[in-house]
Structure 1
Amino acid sequence: MSPDETVQARDLRACVMNCTLKPSPERSHTAGLLAVPVGILRDQGVVVDEIRAVDHDIAPGVWPDMREHGARSDDWPLLAERVLAADILVVGSPIWLGDKSSVATRVVERLYAMSGQLNAAGQYAYYGRVAGCVVTGNEDGAKHVAMNVLYSLQHLGYTIPPQADAAWLGEAGPGPSYLDEGSGGPENDFTQRNATFMAWNLLHLALLLRRSGGFPVGGNSRSAWDAGERAGHPNPEYR
């Protein structure tokens, strides 16, 4: 990708992956919090593609198309096209038993399945893209979930900006969730500030990467490594 200083927010795409356990049209509190960064990005001109993962048949596994490995059906190959069309990925998850949802785990596994693909520069496919996450729930674990999701995404090749997560937690145990009347979530200054900062930081970093032609190439090309280039590795014998 060549540098292009003319790239604007309207030239960017975002994919928002809601990993709620609730199929449509059931109300999703995670979607309620995701609406904050979605609204900001859309207001700036970014094209936002929203996916509720549980509405799709995402087969378990770590291959790009699990139909080639025994699955009867698999919607992931079509979803993967939407993910790879985006400069920005936001993963949203509720907390269950202190961890991200089972749907979020499966989405991360399938993202991992594509992580070996390469871009035109020979880097891994997610290089030059940015990611963040939001978390909702009524139990402890928001930072644990954010650590897990953001670590996983950066390990796969996404670039993570500052303040790339936002969360809302209600009272521990049964009680009002984010969108419920009287929950206090939509009015919580800490949560709303973090969600806003996350949206803008994702946008700023995505623009920087697109305008500079992607993540810099140098010492990080799988194609070059496979061809024998060792990018200054300090062990002469290894080279």
Structure 2
Amino acid sequence: MSKQSLPPAQYADLCAVFINTTLKPSPEPSHTEVLMEVSQAIMRAQGVKVEHIRAADHVLAPGVQPDMTEHGFQRDDWPKLYAQVKQADTLVIGSPIWLGERSSICSSVIERLYAQSADLNDKGQYVYYGKVGGCIVTGNEDGVKHVATGVLYALQHLGYTIPPQADAGWIGEAGPGPSYGDRQDDGSRVGFANDFTQRNTTFMTWNLLHLARLLKDAGGIPAYGNLREQWDAGNHFDHPNPEYR
């Protein structure tokens, strides 16, 4: 089989949003962003519309309501960010590791995604149904799989579909040490030559693309069995307990 075989589909009509939840505002360098750029480059090469958001550049008021200015806060940038997320076929969340956990900003982004959990799509399903989710994690201490577990669980619980191997990350050697984008004595970046990280990031990206393509072509997730309005109206989709009302 040729190593230069062509992709099995076209992806130029897809849109992906990457949210970097580094604690650093722009223009401070972000190692998480540098690794996210690998995935973004693969998508852009396929014609995918890619949007990158650095959450630290925005004011995300704490809370789980769609617009927290209606709940006492002076400013909340989430509504305009949500407009970008809502129109995207794919969402990738990137987070650094601090004390073995995702960043506080990452948790805030997930809370604000949850704020829209009552919204519905055109079929009457929860709004994130039919969309694909993944995550990228960086740091120089243990925690990639732990952070990915929490982020991917949250995304699927909100309605995102998670493909196989939907995460990628970099920690280098366990313990304090070089971060992904740090330069070595010869000027090269530490993580750029790491085959494990580059392979996983590539596989993750293509799995996101393939599943987003399949879902878009299929019109999303079938609506039977997951419509809140019909459940509330008494259609319980073959629920096995006849006494349940």
Q: TM-score, normalised by structure 1?
A: 0.95
Question: Which residue of structure 1 lines up, in the alignment, with residue 204 of structure 2?
Answer: 198
Question: Which residue of structure 2 lines up, in the alignment, with residue 169 of structure 1?
Answer: 171
Residue 175 (structure 1) shift = 2.5
Contact preservation (8 Å) 2:62, 2:108: yes
Q: In the comparison of the two structures, how many residue pairs are matched?
A: 233
Greater mean deviation of Cα atoms: 215-224 or 74-83 = 215-224
Alignment of 1:218 onto 2:220 = no
Question: Which residue of structure 1 lines up, in the alignment, with residue 6 of structure 2?
Answer: none
Residue 214 (structure 1) shift = 0.9
Contact preservation (8 Å) 1:59, 1:71: yes
Match for 1:151 among 146, 150, 153?
A: 153
Distance 2:40 2:76 in 1: 27
**Mapping 1:118-137, distance limit 5 Å:** 118-137=120-139
Alignment of 1:82 onto 2:84 = yes
Residue 52 (structure 1) shift = 0.2
Residue 116 (structure 1) shift = 1.2
Contact preservation (8 Å) 1:135, 1:166: yes
Match for 2:15 among 7, 13, 16?
A: 13
Question: Which residue of structure 2 lines up, in the alignment, with residue 43 of structure 1?
Answer: 45
Letter in 2 for 1:213: G
Contact preservation (8 Å) 1:122, 1:224: no
Contact preservation (8 Å) 2:10, 2:46: no
Match for 1:207 among 213, 217, 222?
A: 213
Query: Secondary structure at 1:205's aligned position in 2?
Result: helix
Distance 1:32 1:223 in 2: 43
Match for 1:233 among 234, 239, 243?
A: 239
**Mapping 1:57-72, distance limit 5 Å:** 57-72=59-74
Contact preservation (8 Å) 1:128, 1:158: yes
Contact preservation (8 Å) 1:100, 1:145: yes
- Unmatched runs of 5 consecutive residues or more in structure 2: 1-8
Distance 2:204 2:29 in 1: 23
Moved over 3 A (4+): 171-174
Question: Which residue of structure 2 lines up, in the alignment, with residue 3 of structure 1?
Answer: none
Query: Secondary structure at 2:12's aligned position in 1?
Result: helix
Backbone CA RMSD of aligned residues: 1.2
Distance 1:85 1:197 in 2: 24
Residue 224 (structure 1) shift = 1.2
Distance 2:31 2:204 in 1: 18
Distance 2:142 2:178 in 1: 15
Q: TM-score, normalised by structure 2?
A: 0.93
Question: Which residue of structure 2 lines up, in the alignment, with residue 4 of structure 1?
Answer: none
Question: Which residue of structure 2 lines up, in the alignment, with residue 116 of structure 1?
Answer: 118
Query: Secondary structure at 2:97's aligned position in 1?
Result: strand
Distance 1:223 1:205 in 2: 27
Contact preservation (8 Å) 2:134, 2:152: yes
Residue 173 (structure 1) shift = 3.7
Match for 1:73 among 72, 75, 85?
A: 75
- Unmatched runs of 5 consecutive residues or more in structure 1: 1-6
